[in-house]
Amino acid sequence: MSVTSQVAEFVGQCLHNLRVLQANLTTLGYQFSAPSPLSEGGRTNQATIVELRATYSSLPAIVEEWYGRVNSVDFSQHPQQLNSEIDVAVAGLGLNPVLVFLDLPSCLAFKRDLIQEGVRLKSDDGTQEILPSGGVASNCTPKGFWLPDGSTDPVLYDEGFGPITFSQELSKAFAAGGFPFWAARSRKRRPSSPLRHGPRFLELLPRLVEGLVPVTPLSGGG
């Protein structure tokens, strides 16, 4: 299978999982922060893709495929439910969400905001600059793509434990029902919650992953 076909298949699997996961979360009573948690079609991004191609010599293959088919994804939890005073199964589930990918115009606006705040967005040698995707890593650095980049599957962030590529991030997220933060905490000998009411993650997990297809990270992404 060609690289182009692999990338298209990967994004198609991700779209399937996002649709199913959104439905599963809705059934569980999860309240999304965004009015449209999943916006498909990529129409919002088309003009910006052309602009990015003109500005940079190359874009990663998965970035072009993703933003050509997906406008935006935001599975953040509504703050009222995230910090719920009532002990419900999904309370706090959306803490540290990874399924957050703004549409490209919003990514550029986010970049301008970061520049105004004095955040360094250029590589040490000055040859690349980051296009933030909307998410934030645990070390408070913005997740995003360093451009120009002609790789298939670019590094999205590095929290100090090694680089995580775009496809690895999504694969990890779906394996954890969309919420790898809580999956990691549930594996601790004595799981604890930084919130007053944390989610009943192990109880929720089988229902979160129901209907999801396995997603394997792309090989040789860099």
pLDDT tens-digit readout, 122-145: 988 989 999 999 999 988 889 999
Ranges of each domain in the chain? 3-208
- % pLDDT > 90, the chain: 80
Distances, alpha carbon 218 to alpha carbons 4, 104, 170, 177, in Å: 11, 23, 11, 19
Q: Are 180 and 172 in contact (CB under 8 A)?
A: yes
pLDDT digits (tens, 9 = 90+) for 28-79: 999 999 999 999 999 999 999 999 999 998 999 999 999 999 999 999 999 9
